[in-house]
Amino acid sequence: MPKKENTFAQDVYAICREIPTGRVTSYGAIAKALGLSRSARMVGYAMNNSFTVKPSVPAHRVVNRNGVLTGKHHFGGPDTMQVLLEQEGIVVKDDQIQDFSNIFWDPAVELGNL
DNA sequence: ACTTTGACTATAA
DNA sequence: GTTATAGCCAAAG
């Protein structure tokens, strides 16, 4: 069997693709689903490569625990992330997702990982 | 092998 | 409600 490069980032991408449209999740939730509940920073760090990975990962559905678009600046534009979220039907105000708790999607729960 | 960093989270004041 | 500080872990230099 061929060698397989299982990196932390690859797992993160898999979870992000499972995020339904119009839903949002937090870095900590993804990390927790991977068993790395304390590596939330690594999740965002890995997302840097999400643009080079195929298929592209909907990183715009991933925000911090406050529902703030912390990484909006990494989308190539200062407002690219917000526009993408609005296209998904998500309301964003002042770089913060409105009704965040209502549209929050927990992979550890939805994927039945608990 | 050591140091730095980073799209975070939790706790304390 | 906010701001400040500490803890956290993996990848890159």
Find all residues with CB under 8 Å of A95, minimum gap 6, and list them: A68, A69, A72, A82
Q: What is the pTM of this model?
A: 0.90
Confidence class for position A8, pLDDT limits 50, 70, 90: confident
Cis omega (within 30 of 0) on the bond before A55?
yes
- Residue A56, CB, less than 7 Å from strand B? no
Report the nearest residue to nucleotide C9, CA vs C1': A39
Give the nucleotide at minimum CA-to-C1' distance from A47. Answer: B7
Residue A55: exposure state from Cβ atoms within 10 A (0-12, 13-18, ≥19) = exposed
Residue with the bigger pLDDT between A94 and A112: it is A94
Distance A1 CA to C6 C1' (A): 45
Give per-residue pLDDT as tens, A47-91: 988 988 878 899 999 999 999 999 999 998 889 999 999 999 999
Do A72 and A82 form a contact (C-beta atoms < 8 A)? yes
Give the nucleotide at minimum CA-to-C1' distance from A27. Answer: B8
Find all residues with CB under 8 Å of A68, minimum gap 6, and list them: A95, A96, A97
Report the nearest residue to nucleotide C10, CA vs C1': A42
Question: What is the pLDDT of chain A when averaged over all its residues?
Answer: 89
